[in-house]
Amino acid sequence: MSTSIAFLKGHGTENDFVIVPDPGNTLDLGPGRVAALCDRRAGIGGDGLLHVVRSAAHPQAVAMAAEAEWFMDYRNGDGSIAEMCGNGVRVFARYLQRAGLVGEGDLAVATRGGVKRVHLAKSAADGSPGEITVAMGRALLPGGAVTVGVGEREWPARHVDMGNPHAVAFVEDLAHAGELSTAPRFAPAAAYPEGVNVEFVVDRGPAHLALRVHERGSGETRSCGTGACAVAVAAARRDGVDPAVTGTPATYTVDVPGGRLVITERPDGEIEMTGPAEIVAEGEIDGAWFENLNA
């Protein structure tokens, strides 16, 4: 391979991604190459990589092709594969819109966590792109006692599954989570055999939360969409709110280091996440450099 490879860079509430359009699924994007592309010093830099593939061209998405034309083949910054990424879905949809492949309105996106329904709002009066809402599916609450810890501190946590695993801990001060340069410890180990995303949460006001997150495979990130959903569900249950029982949607504003997301859990269990998504750059990856990377 000697020709250059197109890429874009985008973010959703500062959760940033390298975007690699590859409709026919022709690129060899092994873990080593993904990690190199996401490297902030020697590569392009990103919390993860969005591989844009037609569902019909990818063996893990072909069964969803009749329902969703495009598959978000998402990889963490270390090259590992992840089931889903909420902020990534919004950025993925924004790319499709920018490329002229979809317009405003409703869109279906195939992911390893299933088909996600997306709505691209109309542009604002000043021409800025509208926010994007993603139907994130239903949360599972496996139950069982779980704890997370950083340094000498330890907290009880709620296990919330959003298609990927989360441990949500309510704390007095977000600074207590430390630098989060390494993954927080958790127990029991059997609760998360493949690792876990850990959210530390404080209250900012009624139905208003703020979080910090350590994402497995990426470290501390500026935002996590599935994490914000997990936090809203955990907060609702802590507050004694279950929309399936009350028949009324529960909405929480969730501040992340990179911005703000609005999470609504509907009475039917569907969780909707609304927030911004921006494409900030596009260019070309040097083909010779890419070919020489360890796949």
Q: Helices 86-98 & 225-238, crossing angle to 10 degrees?
A: 140
Q: State how far the Cα of 269 lies from the Cα of 111, in Å rounded to an integer.
A: 19
Please report which residue ranges of 55-171 form alpha helices under DSSP H. Answer: 86-98
Instruction: Respond yes or no: is residue 38 known to be catalytic.
Output: no
* Nearest one of 11, 16, 68, 57 to 39, comparing CA atoms: 16
**88 is written with which tokens?**
């990534």
**Residue from 35, 82, 89, 224 carrying the catalytic annotation:** 224
- Torsion sign across C-alpha atoms 58, 215, 109, 127: negative
Task: Flag whether 144 is marked binding.
Answer: no
Q: State how far the Cα of 91 lies from the Cα of 118, in Å rounded to an integer.
A: 11
C-beta of residue 70 within 8 angstroms of C-beta of residue 109 = yes
**31 is written with which tokens?**
């873990």
Instruction: Respond yes or no: is residue 229 known to be catalytic.
Output: no
Measured over all CA atoms, what is the biggest interatomic distance in the chain, rounded to whole angstroms?
60
**22 is written with which tokens?**
């590859």
Burial of 175 (0-12, 13-18, 19+ CB in 10 A): exposed
Task: Flag whether 87 is marked binding.
Answer: yes
* Nearest one of 135, 26, 122, 44 to 89, comparing CA atoms: 135
Task: Flag whether 294 is marked binding.
Answer: no
**Residue from 85, 93, 230, 254 carrying the catalytic annotation:** 85
Task: Flag whether 292 is marked binding.
Answer: no
Give catalytic residue positions. Answer: 85, 224
Name the binding residues for substrate. 15, 76, 86-87, 164, 197, 215-216, 225-226
Name the binding residues. 15, 76, 86-87, 164, 197, 215-216, 225-226
